[in-house]
A and B are shown apart, each in its own frame.
Chain A
Amino acid sequence: MSAPLLHAADVRKTFVVRDESGRRDELVAADGVSFTLATGGSLALVGESGSGKTTIARIVAGLETPSGGTVELLGEARTGGRVSRAVRKRRARQVQMVFQDPYGSLDPRQTVAACVEEVLREHFDGDRCWRRERVASLLQQVGLEERHADQRPRRLSGGQRQRVAIARALAVEPRLLILDEAVSALDVSVQAQVINMLVELRRTTGVAFLFVSHDLGVVRQVTEDCLVMHRGRVVEAGPTADVLDHPADAYTQRLLSAIPRPGWQPRRRTAEVSDA
């Protein structure tokens, strides 16, 4: 295993919430989460809603500040709060993120080309001509055609929008790409295309994936290692194949058994309450 790209140690995140009567309460979104992601590796954060998987992803991205623990990227600790322009740009070159909602992920007023070009202009010195070529090759890399370059998000399907979001993220040539349920909102036939594209992308560019998903089938296709989270804590971790083939934790087993597949029947866990 090569040097770790990302190392999280004992990460904790709490949010202050107010209940109906206005009382302050602390909500623990993640607690005691530790993991390591090797350069060029692919790690899944698996769990259901409320598991804390997205919170961890946002902390790694720098969109949230951890309440405790440390996150180190390339040996450098990520600190929250305001940072200088230079630090901001350096971090951008390291980590990029693709979000779940294909409809909110792009500025509705920007064309596809303008969206990718804006990022290029921020980070590279190349001239207009270079940028245009780079946009074209990035779009090609994510499986979009030239004619899409001048279109606005409204004209694109969900799958095409996610491809644009991936192209924008790749524009800075990041070391780590965080994919937060990036294929969950897509139709099955389109999802398969994007999954194949992602697998190919990692093979050719060597970018590492932090892959947040609730879908174990997708996780199996895209990742090498996985972390199963439940209510903010890691319940099981290991190589994806081992965890999915021989789940040790009861929750992981429950998660696997709930996935519809040929011959599967839904089983009731709560008994029917008989009349008293």
Chain B
Amino acid sequence: MTPAPTPLLELDGLRVDLRVDGALRRVIHDVSLRLGVGEAVGLVGESGSGKSITARTIMRLLPRGAEVAGDVRFGGRSVLELGARDLRRYRATDVAMIYQDPRAHLNPVRTIGDFLLEGPVHAVGASRADATEAAVALLRSVGIPDAPRRLRQYPHQLSGGLLQRVVIAAALLAEPQLILADEPTTALDVTTQEEVMAILDDQRRKRGVAMLFITHDLDLAAAVTDRLAVMYAGTVAEVGPAADLHRTALHPYTAGLLAARPSTTRVERLTTIPGRPVSAFEVGPGCVFASRCAHVEDRCRAERPALRALEDHMVACHRAEELRGALGLPAAAAR
């Protein structure tokens, strides 16, 4: 699991403060993460963990007055220092973003065709006929059969699932190297979610596009990514292989999240994490999870643990070695 020599995307000691009522408020403490070419990483966290702010920082879409320290590098270049023209190109062709609510991100008075063709025709300069042909082919590959008709329709005429597939097609149309998917299926029903995720996963793999998949659903992220990064209160708590993180979690927070999921096959008193998820600005000098951790000791409250390698994981916990096997992970059997 050694990261590729030149990672596609590299977050290095990222720290973000947003301006709230005139004062700076920390939302990201310290996030370092690498994403190789064609690799899929899940960024998993609850509300206030800073996962969406991380995505917005990568796109340089933070609100006015935000302050960023550390660096975001894409293909070795600092994204934070891009000039206006390079930034436009970066957003238009290098990275594509898929949002939680497609309806809010599509102009309601313009057709699906206008939306899909805007990028290729205006930003890249393709002919309208070529772009239309490409768009139709893409809509077909995301499972939309009557593509020519759909191109003439308006967003309100399409269901949420269909609309999200259009957004996926638009993301692929730019032939980006990275897709940033921010809770793309949270607003969808579970059966539609399966469909949309399958399509996104399938198309991404076929084209070798890297993906940063942001979600609160650990199991969903695990199914479509290679590695998972679990975020809490503006820091990365743990990074581990997606396929078996549910068995091998090393951080007490990851283990707590896993145990708190209600099972569909067993009735049990759920193991809970006391308190509520805290935000980055609320934590003290020690470990960000110290206030809710069952294994907390003095050192955890005083000194913030750095993210370090352990086995094939990265973990930010002072006691990770001692706690191995003592985190009460659910049995390996399917839930």
CB within 8 Å of B: which residues of A?
48-49, 157-160, 187-193, 195-196, 199, 214-218, 220-221, 241, 244-245, 254-275
User: Which one of B2-10, B28-36, B187-195, B307-315 contacts A?
Assistant: B187-195
Instruction: Give chain B residues whose Cβ lies under 8 Å from the Cβ of A263.
Output: 334
Q: What is the CA–CA distance of A267 and B224 in the complex, to the nearest angstrom?
A: 11
Residue of B nearest to A185 (CB): B47
Could you give 26 example pairs across A and B, Cβ below 8 Å? A157-B276, A160-B276, A188-B257, A190-B276, A190-B277, A192-B262, A196-B269, A215-B262, A217-B264, A241-B267, A255-B190, A257-B194, A258-B190, A260-B219, A261-B219, A261-B334, A266-B194, A266-B224, A268-B198, A268-B202, A269-B194, A270-B195, A272-B142, A273-B140, A273-B147, A275-B140
A242 to chain B: closest CB distance in Å? Answer: 12
Q: Is the CB of B264 within 8 A of A262?
A: no
Instruction: Give chain A residues whose Cβ lies under 8 Å from the Cβ of B189.
Output: 48-49, 214
Q: What is the CA–CA distance of A199 and B262 in the complex, to the nearest angstrom?
A: 13
Taking A217-B335, A266-B193, A266-B201 as given, write out 10 further A-B residue pairs in contact, using a Cβ cutoff of 8 Å, ordered by the A residue number: A48-B191, A189-B272, A190-B276, A192-B262, A192-B273, A193-B272, A217-B261, A258-B194, A262-B246, A270-B143
Instruction: Give chain A residues whose Cβ lies under 8 Å from the Cβ of B267.
Output: 220-221, 241
Report B250-303 residues with CB < 8 Å from chain A CB.
256-257, 260-274, 276-277, 292
Q: Is the CB of B271 within 8 A of A192?
A: yes
Tally of contact residues, B, Cβ under 8 A: 53
Q: Is the CB of B219 within 8 A of A268?
A: no
Q: What is the CA–CA distance of A110 and B264 in the complex, to the nearest angstrom?
A: 38
- For the complex, is B53 an interface residue (Cβ under 8 Å from A)? no
Partner of A267, one of B145, B198, B247, B272: B198
Q: What is the CA–CA distance of A158 and B277 in the complex, to the nearest angstrom?
A: 11
- For the complex, is B222 an interface residue (Cβ under 8 Å from A)? yes
- For the complex, is B15 an interface residue (Cβ under 8 Å from A)? no
- For the complex, is B124 an interface residue (Cβ under 8 Å from A)? no
Q: Is the CB of A269 within 8 A of B262?
A: no
Q: Is the CB of B262 within 8 A of A266?
A: no
Chain B 98-116 per-residue mask, 1 if CB under 8 angstroms from chain A, else 0: 0000000000000000000
Q: Is the CB of B143 within 8 A of A192?
A: no
Residue of B nearest to A224 (CB): B267
Chain B 168-209 per-residue mask, 1 if CB under 8 angstroms from chain A, else 0: 000000000000000000000111111101110110000000
Instruction: Give chain A residues whose Cβ lies under 8 Å from the Cβ of B190.
Output: 48, 214, 255, 258-259
Q: What is the CA–CA distance of A192 and B277 in the complex, to the nearest angstrom?
A: 13
Q: What is the CA–CA distance of A188 and B216 in the complex, to the nearest angstrom?
A: 8
Tell whether A220 pairs with B265 under 8 Å between CB atoms, given A48-B190, A187-B216, A192-B270.
yes
Residue of B nearest to A160 (CB): B276
- For the complex, is B12 an interface residue (Cβ under 8 Å from A)? no
Q: Is the CB of A189 within 8 A of B191?
A: no
- For the complex, is B217 an interface residue (Cβ under 8 Å from A)? yes
Q: Is the CB of A220 within 8 A of B222?
A: no
Residue of B nearest to A262 (CB): B246
Instruction: Give chain A residues whose Cβ lies under 8 Å from the Cβ of B193.
Output: 258, 266
- For the complex, is B59 an interface residue (Cβ under 8 Å from A)? no
Residue of A nearest to B136 (CB): A275
Partner of B46, one of A187, A256, A262, A266: A187
- For the complex, is B158 an interface residue (Cβ under 8 Å from A)? no
Tell whether A245 pairs with B216 under 8 Å between CB atoms, given A192-B271, A195-B270, A273-B144.
no
B97 to chain A: closest CB distance in Å? Answer: 21
- For the complex, is B78 an interface residue (Cβ under 8 Å from A)? no
A245 to chain B: closest CB distance in Å? Answer: 7
Tell whether A192 pairs with B260 under 8 Å between CB atoms, given A49-B189, A266-B224.
yes
Q: What is the CA–CA distance of A158 and B143 in the complex, to the nearest angstrom?
A: 37
Among A157, A187, A258, A266: residue with most chain B CB under 10 A: A266
Chain B 125-148 per-residue mask, 1 if CB under 8 angstroms from chain A, else 0: 000000000000100111111010
- For the complex, is B223 an interface residue (Cβ under 8 Å from A)? yes
Instruction: Give chain A residues whose Cβ lies under 8 Å from the Cβ of B274.
Output: 193
Instruction: For the complex of A and B, list the 7 residue pairs with the smallest distance between their C-beta atoms, beginning with the closest.
Output: A217-B262, A260-B219, A266-B198, A48-B189, A192-B260, A273-B140, A187-B46
- For the complex, is B220 an interface residue (Cβ under 8 Å from A)? yes
Residue of B nearest to A190 (CB): B276
Chain B 7-43 per-residue mask, 1 if CB under 8 angstroms from chain A, else 0: 0000000000000000000000000000000000000
Tell whether A188 pairs with B219 under 8 Å between CB atoms, given A266-B201, A272-B140.
no
Q: Is the CB of A262 within 8 A of B262?
A: no
Partner of B143, one of A190, A199, A272: A272
Instruction: Give chain B residues whose Cβ lies under 8 Å from the Cβ of A274.
Output: 140
Q: Is the CB of A187 within 8 A of B271?
A: no
Residue of B nearest to A157 (CB): B276
Partner of A221, one of B140, B216, B220, B262: B262
B43 to chain A: closest CB distance in Å? Answer: 15
A223 to chain B: closest CB distance in Å? Answer: 10
Q: What is the CA–CA distance of A271 and B141 in the complex, to the nearest angstrom?
A: 9
